[in-house]
Amino acid sequence: MYTYPDVDDRITLRFIDEAEPYPGYWARSDERAMARAANRLAKLLGPRETVAALDVGCGPGRMLSWLARLAGTIVAIDPDAARLARATEMAAALGDSAGIETRVSTVDEVTEGPFDLVLCSHIIQHIPTTELVPLLNRLRELTAPDGVLVLTYTRAPVGAERFTLDRVTGGGVESLDVDQARFDEAAQGRLAEKVLPIHYRDPIQLAQLGRRLGWSEVWSWSFHVLQDSPRFRAVADRDELVNATPALLRKFGRDAVALWRPQTATGAFPDADNARR
Ligand SMILES: C[S@@+](CC[C@H](N)C(=O)[O-])C[C@H]1O[C@@H](n2cnc3c(N)ncnc32)[C@H](O)[C@@H]1O
């Protein structure tokens, strides 16, 4: 039975507290990124009641209300039973009209589909490196030919992928840089200590991998800009500045959200944001 190493997201919540440039920034940056993604999805998907969604690795159900605004039915799965139990409570709070079914499951065990909308939010940075391609291929099978995958992940500056093991110590969150082999050991649950393995992925390399596997990235947005720059002090929204400035976008942003479609998908998606990539 799988257990996610960051129990109650304690390491992540502590990290946010320490890393956000000012109180409330993390949540606001997240909301704005996902609101932008939802606006684009609304142009790609049919009316809400016709949209079937899958939330892969839903955890405690943080994204269920966001998803319920876009989809009439949702299957929400997570391999960790304790986290899934919290998603079930969240689904109950959203009510029957949200059409949510929660289940302890891996993607390989999903029997329904294909789905119009598949969400894979903050999963791929924690899985062993050898599991990424099988996961993306399975998500491709589970996504309808005209459907969309929403992939959110921890990103690296372009060309600077790294692996860390994070844990809470007396002094706060310690991020230990490790090599890929050590990361994989942790992600496979082979270390005695509870550490959160994080693979900071290069967004360009990830999009290229997606293309090789039959996906097209149609939009992306970087957020959680934790690094400091004198340029950020002069603007109201640092995320907007980063995403509008190619040189900054290569370096800044701790997370990214991307919309991927099967290469079979029809319909152009003209969007100024994508001209940069
Ligand atoms: C950082 S949490 C993300 C939760 C939620 N998607 C969100 O964005 O808030 C990562 C979740 O991935 C789940 N997970 C781990 N390995 C997985 C896998 N191979 N497939 C799907 N989910 C997985 C964990 O149990 C955990 O709940």
**Ligand 1 proximity of 166 Cβ (cutoff 6 Å):** no
Nearest ligand 1 atom to the CA of 2 is 25
**What's the 59 CA to ligand 1 centre distance in angstroms?**
5
CATH code for position 258: 3.40.50.150
Name the residue of 3, 10, 121, 123 to mutate for ligand 1: max ligand atoms within 8 A of Cβ: 123
Q: Residue 97 is encoded by which pair of tokens?
A: 């009209």
Distance from residue 187's CA to the centre of ligand 1 (Å): 12
**What's the pLDDT tens digit per position in 134-147?**
999 999 999 999 99
pLDDT at 194: 87
Report if residue 192 sits inside a domain.
no
> Which amino acid would we find at residue 75?
V
Buried b (16+ CB within 10 A) or exposed e, 156-188: bbeeeebbbbbbbeeeebebeebeeebbbebbe
Q: Give the pLDDT score at 266.
A: 76
Split into its structural domains, the chain has a count of 1
Quote the DSSP letter at residue 19. H
pLDDT class for 267, splitting at 50, 70, 90? Answer: low
In a domain, 251, yes or no: yes
pLDDT value for 265: 85
pLDDT in tens, 205-217: 999 999 999 999 9
Say if residue 100's pLDDT is above 70. yes
**CB of 120 closer than 6 A to ligand 1?**
no
Q: What average pLDDT is seen over the chain?
A: 95
Q: Is 62 in the pocket of ligand 1 (CB under 6 A)?
A: yes
Tell me the pTM.
0.96
pLDDT at 276: 44
* 63 CB near ligand 1 (under 6 Å): yes
Q: Which residues contact 103 (CB under 8 A, 6 or more apart)?
A: 75, 76, 77, 84
Question: Quick one: what percent of the chain has pLDDT higher than 90?
Answer: 91
Q: How many angstroms separate the alpha carbon of residue 46 from the centre of ligand 1?
A: 27
Instruction: Tokens 């970087």: give the residue.
Output: 222
Give the DSSP letter string of 118-152. EEEES-TTTS-GGGHHHHHHHHHHHEEEEEEEEEE
Q: Does ligand 1 come within 6 angstroms of the Cβ of 66?
A: no
- Assess if residue 115 is contained within a domain: yes
Does 42 reside within a domain?
A: yes
60/207 Cα distance (integer angstroms): 28
Q: How far is the CA of 9 from the centre of ligand 1 (A)?
A: 11
Q: How far is the CA of 272 from the centre of ligand 1 (A)?
A: 31
Residue percentage of the chain with pLDDT more than 70: 96
Residue 167 lies in a domain: no
Report the pLDDT averaged over residues 189-210. Answer: 96
> Would residue 187 count as lying in a domain?
no
Mean pLDDT of 60-66: 98
Instruction: Note whether residue 276 is domain-resident.
Output: no
Q: Looking at ligand 1, which residue's alpha carbon is closest to its atom 1?
A: 122
Distance 146 CA to ligand 1 centre (A): 25
Asked whether residue 185 carries a pLDDT value surpassing 60, the answer given is yes
Tell me: pLDDT of 269 over 70.
no
Confidence (pLDDT) at 18: 97
Indicate if the alpha-carbon torsion angle 261, 262, 268, 274 is positive or negative: positive
Would the CB of 58 count as within 6 Å of ligand 1? Answer: yes
Which structural domain, as residue segments, surrounds residue 57?
7-158+200-263
Residue 269 placed within a domain:
no
Can you point out the beta strands (E) in the chain? 52-56, 73-78, 100-104, 115-121, 143-154, 162-169, 172-178, 196-200, 215-223, 255-262
Decide: 121 in ligand 1 pocket, CB within 6 A.
Answer: yes
Check pLDDT > 70 for residue 271. Answer: no
pLDDT above 90: residue 125: yes
